[in-house]
Amino acid sequence: MNSVIKGASYVLAHVPEMVFYNGTTQTTEKVVNPESEYLKELPSHLRTYEECLQYWPNQTYIGNVHPDQMAEIEFPYYDKKKEDGERYGKYGEIMPQDEFLILVQVCDVFEVVKLDKNFVAEVKDKFCADPIITEAMKARIEEGVELSEIEHFVNEEHAEGLYNNNKLVGCVKRAHDIDVNLSAHVMHENLMSKASSVLALLYGVRNAGIQPEDVQYVIDCAEEACGDMNQRGGGNFAKAAAEIAGLPNATGSDARGFCAGPSHALIEAAALVKSGAYKTVVVTAGGCTAKLGMNGKDHVKKGLPILEDCLGGFCVVLSENDGVNPEINLDILGRHTVGTGSAPQAVIGSLVTDPLERAGLKVTDIDKFSPEMQNPDITKPAGAGDVPLANYKMIAALAVKLGQIDRKEVATFAKERGMTGWAPTQGHIPSGVPYIGFAREDILAGKIKRAMIIGKGSLFLGRMTNLFDGVSFVIQANTAAEEANSTVSEEEVKGLIAKAMKDFAASLMSAEE
C-alpha cells in the first residue's frame, strides 16, 4: 500500500539583520560598491517583527490563513496588514530573531557559536517559554561570554557576527584555520539551516500526532551542503537535526536537487515506507541565508520593504498506510529526464500531462496543482512576474492542446485549480511543498480528491550541466478500503487453488475416458 502523509509543519525565523550581514545580494554589494545608496537605504526598509507577523503570506505559510482566503486579498500584499497576525499557527510559528539566535546556539555542538551573556540573560526565559522547545534543548543553553571576547573573534579571527537591534550580540567562529569549507561564513550558513530544520522537525512530529521515538529515518532536502576539505558536501544535516530535535531512533541522510530537492526527497521517502524499509520517514528542510534580501535592490528602488527577511523551514511526516490519511501515489510520477529539453512546454509536459496520461487521467482529474508557490509580492517588483500564474497558464495551454479543457476555460483555470503564491523565496521552500499541509486537510475534509505537487530545479547553477530538473507526484484520498475490498483473502486463494486442482484432475480423468 502507498504511504500516507501523517502531518506537516511550516516555520519561519524573522532575521532582518541577517539580510544586511549575510544575504548574498548585500554581501556582494559591500565588496563591489561598499558606499552604494542601496546599502545606505536598506536599514530603513527592514520590517519589524510585528510587521512580519501582520504580513498575509507569512500567516498563510504557518497555517493561519487558507490559500482560498489568501486569494481574496487584493494585490499587492505588503501594504495590507493582517491586524490579528499571530506568532503561532496551525503548522508552526514565526520565531523572532533574538530567540532564533538562542536556538542556533542550542544547535551548536562544536562550540563555534558564542553569545553575549547579557543577551542570553535577557532572551533565555522568552525562548524557554516557547511550548515547542524541549527540556533537553533548554538544558543546552549556555550562559554566554563577555562581549569583548565576541568582538575579538569578529575583529581578529574572521568570525561572522550575530546582530540584534543593531548591536553585536554574538558570533559564529570558524571551525578550522585554513579549510574554507569550515570557515565562519559556511558554518554560519549551515547552522542557520540546521536550526530552522530543527524547529520544523519539532512541529512536524507534534502535528503528525506521533512520538519522537516513532521516527526511523530523516531526509534533509535543503540547499546547503556541509563537509570538510576532504568531503566538501558530504552532509548529513538530517541526522544532525534529528539529534537536537530528540529523535533517538532515527538515522538519515541528505537529498539535494536544488529547488526540486523536496519533491525528490518526498518520493524517496514514500518509496522507503511503501517498501517496508522504514515505518515512519520524515522529510525536512531548513532555510537559506544566501537568499535573504535576494531581490532587495528592486524592492528598495520601488519603495517596498525588504520582503525576503525570513528563513523558511518545513517538515512532512510519512508513515505506513493507516486507512485514513491521504496517500502519495507512486504510480503517478512526473520526471524531467535528460532528454526532455528546456522548453517550458516540454518541462511542464514531462511533469504534468505525461504522468497523468500514463495513469489514464486528465488535467481535470487533478483538483489543485502546486508548482513553485513563489510569493508574487516578491517576484513581480523584481521583474520575474507571477511565477505560479505562469505555471498555471502553461498547464492550461497544454490541457487545451490535448482537448481536455475548452480554450475559454484558460482564463479561470488558475483560480479553480491553482493558488496565489505565498511562500518565501528560499529556493527549495516554495517548490510545490507549501501546499502539502493544506492539501492533506482539504482531502480529509472532502474538498478535493487529488493534488499534484510539482518541484522544479535549475541544475545549471552548479556549472556541471545546462539541464533543468523536476519531478512531480500526486497526493490522493486514501484508497486502502478500496484495495481491501478488491483484495482476495488467503483463504479465498486456497479455495481457488483447490478448485483449480480439482477441475484439472477432472479434466485429466475425462481425457483418459
pLDDT at residue 69, as a whole number: 98
Q: Does residue 294 lie in a domain region?
A: yes
Q: Which domain holds residue 21?
A: 4-478
Taking residue 403's Cβ as centre, other Cβ atoms within 10 Å add up to: 8
Q: Does residue 215 lie in a domain region?
A: yes
- Cα separation, 211 vs 134, whole angstroms: 13
Report the domain count for the chain.
1
- Cα separation, 471 vs 408, whole angstroms: 29
Express each pLDDT in 248-305 by its tens digit.
999 999 999 999 999 999 999 999 999 999 999 999 999 999 999 999 999 999 999 9
| Per-residue CA distances from 66 to 91, 162, 208 (Å) | 12, 34, 19
Q: Does residue 483 lie in a domain region?
A: no
pLDDT at 513 over 60: no
Express each pLDDT in 348-357 by its tens digit.
999 999 999 9
Residue partners of 115: CB distance under 8 A and separation at least 6: 101, 102, 105, 142, 144, 145, 150, 162, 169, 170
pLDDT at 112 over 60: yes
pLDDT at residue 482, as a whole number: 76
Pairing of strands 113-115, 167-172: antiparallel
Taking residue 168's Cβ as centre, other Cβ atoms within 10 Å add up to: 15
Q: Does residue 507 lie in a domain region?
A: no
Please report where in the chains the cell 565562519 appears, as a residue.
184
Q: Does residue 504 lie in a domain region?
A: no
pLDDT at residue 480, as a whole number: 85
Q: Does residue 491 lie in a domain region?
A: no
Helix (H, G, I), strand (E, B) or coil at 336: coil
Contact yes or no for 202/7 (Cβ under 8 A): no
pLDDT at residue 223, as a whole number: 94
pLDDT at residue 506, as a whole number: 61
- Cα separation, 186 vs 180, whole angstroms: 8
Express each pLDDT in 427-466 by its tens digit.
999 999 999 999 999 999 999 999 999 999 999 999 999 9
Express each pLDDT in 376-413 by its tens digit.
999 999 999 999 999 999 999 999 999 999 999 999 99
Indicate the pLDDT class of residue 101, thresholds 50, 70 and 90: very high
CATH number at residue 60: 3.40.47
Q: Does residue 91 lie in a domain region?
A: yes
User: Averaged over 72-99, what is the pLDDT?
Assistant: 98
pLDDT at 145 over 70: yes
Q: Does residue 486 lie in a domain region?
A: no
pLDDT at residue 359, as a whole number: 98
pLDDT at 177 over 70: yes
pLDDT at residue 500, as a whole number: 63
Average of per-residue pLDDT values in the chain: 95
Indicate the pLDDT class of residue 501, thresholds 50, 70 and 90: low
What does the DSSP assignment read for 146-163? -HHHHHHHHHHS-PEEEE
Q: State pTM to two decimals.
A: 0.94
Please report where in the chains the cell 543593531 appears, as a residue.
166
Percent of the chain with pLDDT over 70: 94
- Cα separation, 128 vs 145, whole angstroms: 20
